[in-house]
Amino acid sequence: NAGVTQTPKFRVLKTGQSMTLLCAQDMNHEYMYWYRQDPGMGLRLIHYSVGEGTTAKGEVPDGYNVSRLKKQNFLLGLESAAPSQTSVYFCASSSLLANQETQYFGPGTRLLVL
């Protein structure tokens, strides 16, 4: 049981390049989330999904797109990377069952946009 995994662990992009971050979970969780964490800002929600085929915007969605084609995977896309998107990106998942709302986080992806 690997929990939540993220690939890649680290990436350097040039401004304008695109990339996709992959999140996978093997806990059969319905809900998945993408956060970014910046110094002095705390964790901020980018997008989230409450089930396969559904996504919704979080607090800071601009510049990002997501897809949830399979229940276990949640992809975060950057179509045209900007230096402001330099950050650590965390994926998380949680169950919809009552009293099991704990979010489990992946190890993070460190992205540097030059």
Q: How far is the CB of 42 from other proteins (least distance, A)?
A: 4
109 scored as a contact of other proteins (CB under 8 A): no
Torsion of CA 21, 108, 10, 5, to 10 degrees: -60
H-helix or E-strand spanning residue 54: strand 54-57
Taking CB under 8 A as the rule, does residue 33 contact other proteins?
A: yes
27 binds other proteins (CB under 8 A): no
| 70 Cβ contact partners less than 8 Å away, ≥ 6 residues apart | 52
Q: At a CB cut-off of 8 Å and minimum separation 6, what does 43 contact? A: 35, 36, 37, 90
In the bound state with other proteins, the residue whose beta carbon lies nearer, of 12 and 50, is 50
What does the radius of gyration of the chain's CA atoms come to, in whole angstroms? 13
Residues 61-100, mask of contacts with other proteins (x by CB under 8 A): -----------------------------x---xxx-x--
Question: How many chain residues bind other proteins (CB under 8 A)?
Answer: 25
Looking at 48, 64, 74, 76, which residue binds other proteins (CB under 8 A)? 48
Binding stretches for other proteins (CB under 8 A): 30-31, 33, 40-45, 48, 50, 56, 58, 90, 94-96, 98, 101-103, 105-108
